Amino acid sequence: PTRHTYSLRNQSKYFWYTGLDNNLHLATAASKSRPDLIQMNHYTIDAASLQNEQYPCTFPAHPKLTWPPKQPIDIVRAIGTDYADCVADACFSRKRCKDLNCTHSFSTFQNASQDWEKHFELRETRDRGIGVIARTSLPKGTVLGFYAGKLLSSKFSGTNDYLMELGIGDLASYGLLDDEDEERGLKDEMVFIDGFKQGNWTRFMNHSCNAHAEFVMMRAGETRIMAAVLRKPIEEGEELTVSYGESYWLHRMDGMRCRCGMPRCVA
């Protein structure tokens, strides 16, 4: 396709998608024309906004933990034996590592996931904005990448469609606490990953009630991630989808409804 006429010094810094007109267009976040969406395959942190955060109850005394956090690893260090499967040093593979003391690293996994455009491309859909289309066939269980973005406090009061929760600390009881636990001061500690204006290609996956992929809490070495994993095979030319969860649609105030058209759709 013909590249859209847009003069940018570093085109790999941004996202480009193929439109219905078969031309390449710049993907944006809030603006319709300005480059306000940065392609970023890591975490960032606004340390100042987290200065008054209490030490998480899921964080044990740990020689490598710094609080208040000054860099992403201070928040997303993988601790404990739950959700501890490591994606190893490869992406677009089914490799897993269960050694809690492994020497795999987040940086190696980042580098392995950079060539996502060999496997997927961004294309405009007729009714659901930009979508992710498979360029290759991949089997069930393949790790596709992770959800990148800015780490925000769980007290963040804003809202957008690109916020994802990430549990932090020792997650032995994550998602199992009840009202009685909350009365005793216990809670699921988490942060938001905001991929609205800074993130990687996984932010473009559209919802389906019969999705190809799911986000799974895992780790890359010592770093906790929300890994995108295929729950069923995908063939070349198919749109890669993920389930946003039923609550995503139930709590929307703008009247938007799922358009996947699948049987038992939440709409």
Q: What is the pLDDT of residue 86?
A: 98
| Tokens encoding 176 | 């199992």
- Please, are residues 226 and 219 in contact by the beta-carbon 8 Å criterion? no
Q: What is the pLDDT of residue 53?
A: 86
Of 248, 23, 243, 214, whose CA–CA distance to 122 is shortest? 23
In single-letter form, the type of residue at position 20 comes to: L
Report the alpha-carbon distance of residue 133 to residue 248 in Å, rounded. Answer: 23
CATH value of 40-250 in 3.30.70.1560, 2.30.40.10, 1.10.3720.10, 2.170.270.10: 2.170.270.10
| Tokens encoding 214 | 């799911």
Q: What is the pLDDT of residue 197?
A: 95
Domain map (residue ranges) of the chain: 40-250
- Please, are residues 79 and 62 in contact by the beta-carbon 8 Å criterion? yes
Report the alpha-carbon distance of residue 48 to residue 73 in Å, rounded. Answer: 16
Could you identify the residue written with the tokens 């890669």?
240
Q: What is the pLDDT of residue 184?
A: 44
- Please, are residues 59 and 79 in contact by the beta-carbon 8 Å criterion? yes
Residue 132 backbone phi and psi in degrees, to 5:
-110, 120
Read off the pTM.
0.87
In single-letter form, the type of residue at position 124 comes to: E
Q: What is the pLDDT of residue 9?
A: 47
Secondary structure of 48-106 in the HEC alphabet? HHHCCCCCCCCCCCCCCCCCCCCCCHHHHEEECCCCCCECCCCCCECCCECCCCCCCCH
Report the alpha-carbon distance of residue 83 to residue 193 in Å, rounded. Answer: 17
Q: Tens-of-pLDDT digits for all 267 residues of the chain? A: 544 444 454 558 999 999 999 999 999 998 777 889 999 999 999 888 888 888 888 888 777 788 899 999 999 999 999 999 999 989 999 999 999 999 999 999 999 999 999 999 999 999 889 999 999 999 999 999 999 999 998 888 777 889 999 999 998 865 555 555 444 444 569 999 999 999 999 999 999 989 999 999 999 999 999 999 999 999 999 999 998 876 665 555 455 667 666 666 765
Q: What is the pLDDT of residue 125?
A: 94
In single-letter form, the type of residue at position 117 comes to: E
Which residues, other chains included, contact 11 with Cβ-Cβ below 8 Å and sequence gap of 6+? none
